[in-house]
C-alpha cells in the first residue's frame, strides 16, 4: 500500500493592494538615425520567422555583445528602482542607455508596442506598458530589457523589490529566480525542451507557486522571436531536441495564486485573474556541447538577478 503524501500547508497570499489600473502612456521615444534598427522598426511587423534555430560562430559573437549590453542596461535601470519613480521614467532610462551603448531598444514598435521596455508591476504578469504610475513602497516590478545590436537581440529581465516588501513577495521573487536557473541547468546538447519546463514546474510546486502557461520562452537571435518555443511547465509534447548553437530564452512567470490571467484593453498587459502577485526572470542562453552559456551577462560577469534579487532559502 502506498504511503499517503502529507500535503504541505499553503499560506495564501492576499491580492495585491491597491490593484493595478491603467495609467497615462506617453509618446514613443525616438531613435537616432545613426543607430542600426531591426526590420520591424518602421512598420511594426516582424514578418514570419525564417531564421535558423542554430547560430553561426559570428552570430554567437554578436549575441555575446548584444547580451552584455542588455544585461548592463538592465543593471543600470535597477539602480533607479525606488518608491516614487514612474515606469515611464524607467522607460526613458532604458531607452537612453540602450542608445548610448549603440543599441536599439527591441520592444519599440515591435508589433506596435509603444515603449522601449516592458515594466510589469505586482499582479501584472508581463508586457506592462510604462506609464505615469509611480512605484509604491512594497511593490515588485519586472523590468524586461531587450537590445538589438550588431544584427541580433539580447533579451533579459529581472524582478526588483521596491522599498519594504512583504515576505510572500520576497519568497515569490526569490523562488522564481531559482526556478529559472533550475530550468536552465537542464540544457545541454541532446536534452529536450520539456526538461526545462519539468524542472521549473517541479520547483514552483515545492513552494505552492503557480506557473503561467500562456507565455513561454522563445528562440532569439537575428529575430526577436524565432520559432523555437520553451514552455515553463512540463509538456510531454515539447520533445524538440536542443542542440549545440541553439539560442533561446528561459523566462518563467510564477504566481502567488492561480496563474489564470486576463488582458487589459491595450491587448498587451497581462494580469493575474485573482489579483495576486507574479514575478519573472529571464536570460538568453546558448546550448553548448556539455551544457549552456548565459549570454545576457555584463562584461564584468554581473547579472541583474545576482545583484538585486532576494536570496532563496532553498538549495538550488
Q: Could you read off the pLDDT of 34-49 as tens digits, one per residue?
A: 999 999 999 999 999 9
Our CA dihedral for 302, 307, 310, 313, rounded to 10 degrees, sits at: 40
Q: How confident is the model at residue 13 (pLDDT cuts 50, 70, 90)?
A: confident
Q: 3.30.70.20, 3.40.50.300, 3.90.230.10, 3.30.1490.20: which CATH number matches 57-308?
A: 3.90.230.10
Please write the tens of the pLDDT for every residue from 296-309. 999 999 999 999 99
Q: What is the pLDDT of residue 11?
A: 55
Please write the tens of the pLDDT for every residue from 154-212. 999 999 999 999 999 999 999 999 999 999 999 999 999 999 999 999 999 999 999 99
Q: Please check the confidence at residue 4 and state whether its pLDDT lies above 70.
A: no
The per-residue pLDDT of the chain, averaged, comes to: 95
**Whole-angstrom Cα distance, residue 95 to residue 198?**
35
- Please give the distance of CA 107 from its chain centroid, rounded to a whole number: 12
Task: List own/partner pairs for 295-299 with CB under 8 A and 24 or more apart.
Answer: 295/63, 295/64, 295/66, 295/67, 295/154, 295/247, 296/67, 296/68, 296/70, 296/71, 296/74, 296/154, 296/155, 296/156, 297/67, 297/68, 297/71, 298/68, 298/71, 298/72, 298/75, 299/68, 299/72
**Whole-angstrom Cα distance, residue 255 to residue 260?**
9
3-class state of residue 175 by DSSP: helix
Q: Please check the confidence at residue 6 and state whether its pLDDT lies above 90.
A: no
Bond prior to 18 in cis (omega within 30° of 0): yes
**Whole-angstrom Cα distance, residue 238 to residue 159?**
27
Q: How confident is the model at residue 74 (pLDDT cuts 50, 70, 90)?
A: very high
Q: What is the pLDDT of residue 1?
A: 33
- Sign of the Cα pseudo-torsion (272, 278, 284, 288, in order): negative
Q: Please check the confidence at residue 5 and state whether its pLDDT lies above 70.
A: no
- The pairing of strands 124-126 and 278-280 is unpaired
245 sits in which H/E element: none
Q: What is the pLDDT of residue 8?
A: 44
What grid cell was written down for 30?
525616438
Q: What is the mean pLDDT of residues 15-23?
A: 95
Q: What is the pLDDT of residue 146?
A: 98
Q: What is the pLDDT of residue 3?
A: 30
Contact of 82 with 161, CB cutoff 8 Å: no
Contact of 173 with 159, CB cutoff 8 Å: yes
**Whole-angstrom Cα distance, residue 109 to residue 113?**
5
What grid cell was written down for 41?
522598426
Contact of 115 with 130, CB cutoff 8 Å: yes
pTM of the full predicted structure?
Answer: 0.95
3-class state of residue 115 by DSSP: coil
**Whole-angstrom Cα distance, residue 154 to residue 3?**
48
Amino acid at each position: 500500500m502506498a504511503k499517503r503524501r502529507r500535503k504541505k500547508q499553503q499560506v495564501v497570499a492576499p491580492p495585491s493592494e491597491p490593484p493595478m489600473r491603467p495609467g497615462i502612456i506617453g509618446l514613443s521615444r525616438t531613435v537616432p538615425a545613426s543607430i542600426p534598427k531591426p526590420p520591424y522598426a518602421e512598420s511594426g511587423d516582424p514578418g514570419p520567422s525564417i531564421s535558423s534555430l542554430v547560430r553561426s560562430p559570428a552570430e554567437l559573437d554578436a549575441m555575446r555583445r548584444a547580451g552584455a549590453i542588455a544585461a548592463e542596461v538592465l543593471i543600470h535601470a535597477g539602480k533607479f528602482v525606488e518608491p516614487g519613480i514612474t515606469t515611464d521614467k524607467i522607460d526613458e532610462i532604458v531607452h537612453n542607455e540602450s542608445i548610448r551603448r549603440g543599441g536599439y531598444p527591441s520592444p519599440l514598435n515591435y508589433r506596435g508596442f509603444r515603449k522601449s521596455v516592458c515594466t510589469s508591476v505586482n499582479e501584472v504578469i508581463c508586457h506592462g506598458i510604462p506609464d505615469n504610475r509611480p512605484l509604491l513602497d512594497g511593490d515588485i516590478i519586472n523590468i524586461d530589457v531587450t537590445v538589438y545590436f550588431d544584427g541580433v537581440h539580447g533579451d533579459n529581465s529581472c524582478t526588483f523589490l521596491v522599498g519594504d516588501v512583504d515576505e510572500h513577495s520576497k519568497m515569490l521573487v526569490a523562488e522564481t529566480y531559482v526556478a529559472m536557473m533550475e530550468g536552465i541547468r537542464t540544457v545541454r546538447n541532446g536534452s529536450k525542451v520539456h526538461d526545462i519546463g519539468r524542472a521549473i514546474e517541479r520547483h514552483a510546486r515545492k513552494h505552492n507557486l503557480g506557473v503561467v502557461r500562456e507565455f513561454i520562452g522563445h528562440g532569439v537571435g537575428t529575430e526577436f522571436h524565432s520559432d523555437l518555443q520553451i514552455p515553463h511547465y512540463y509538456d510531454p509534447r515539447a520533445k524538440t531536441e536542443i542542440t549545440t548553437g541553439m539560442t533561446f530564452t528561459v523566462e518563467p512567470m510564477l504566481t502567488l495564486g492561480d496563474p489564470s490571467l486576463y488582458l487589459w484593453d491595450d491587448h498587451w498587459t497581462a494580469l493575474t485573474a485573482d489579483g495576486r502577485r507574479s514575478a519573472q526572470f529571464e536570460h538568453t542562453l546558448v546550448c553548448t556541447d556539455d551544457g549552456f552559456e548565459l549570454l545576457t551577462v555584463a562584461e564584468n560577469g554581473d547579472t541583474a538577478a545576482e545583484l538585486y534579487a532576494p536570496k532563496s532559502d532553498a538549495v538550488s
